[in-house]
Amino acid sequence: MSINLERWSTDAERDAIVAALNPPSAEAKPDSPEDAAAKEILKTACTTCHDLKRVTEAQFTRQKWMETISNMREFFGAKFPDQQVPPLVNFLAKTQGPGPRADSPMAALAAAIGRAPTIGFIWTNDRSGYSVKYAYRTSLTDGMERIILASNRRLTMPGVQQGGSENPSESFTVIEIRIDRNGSGEAKASFDTPVVVQPEPRTLVLENYAATRVLLREVRRQDSIAVGQR
């Protein structure tokens, strides 16, 4: 495998990707009248036989929510007028639908990586090319150099299980490379561990680098090219 970088990510490009995973706090937007009414129904009528956790952990299609609400009203004593059913179904289908949540941090990160410009390529041994969308380097306290790369695709390599489209974290790859003073080191990837934001410096990192399996050994730093062997 070889990694060829044209340049490093700019501060603005880094901030856009980091903010997707760790957005700045903001005031919550007020609910629409329809959503506010649906939430009130959930608090009052939908907690007669279970708590709200049972609702918030479910992810159903619109049809399944319609059937569930009908059963709750007919068999389990949930009492609210017919005209309140459509807004409740709309709210639940929007916020508790199947598949990844549109506002999930991993979905936001995957989208941000996809929007970033291509600044290099990762070439695997079968000559498959993967765009590098994020490249950032920093020094560690032990004198090692840490390089973080992100591609908008999941790498296809022997021993790497391919992800599904339902999981946003499996639609991209983050690689963390650590290189010693002699210019050699190893690389690990986000196949087995979550991606998080390190506050200082603000960059993506692998959450548990030490316990993550090695992706590449004998990584060598050659200007902006890192070469390694599995």
> Domains of the chain (ranges plus CATH)?
2-24+105-229 (no CATH), 33-95 (1.10.760.10)
Tens digits of residue pLDDT in 74-131? 888 888 888 889 989 999 988 888 765 556 788 889 999 999 999 999 988 766 789 9
- Nearest CA to 177 among 147, 135, 207, 209? 147
Report the candidate in 173, 175, 186 with the shortest Cα–Cα distance to residue 144: 186
pTM: 0.65
Instruction: Report whether 17 contacts 116 (CB < 8 A).
Output: yes
Question: What would the pLDDT profile of 148-173 be if each residue is shown by its tens digit?
Answer: 999 999 987 655 555 444 455 678 99
pLDDT for 50 beyond 80: no
Q: How far apart are CA 199 and CA 162, in angstroms?
A: 30
The kind and range of the H/E element at 75 are helix 62-75
CB 148 within 8 A of CB 176: yes
Question: How far is the C-alpha of 228 from the C-alpha of 215, rounded, in Å?
Answer: 9
CA-CA distance, 223 to 74, in Å (whole number)?
70
Percent of the chain whose predicted confidence (pLDDT) is above 90: 38
Nearest C-alpha neighbor of 204 from the set 24, 15, 1, 25: 15
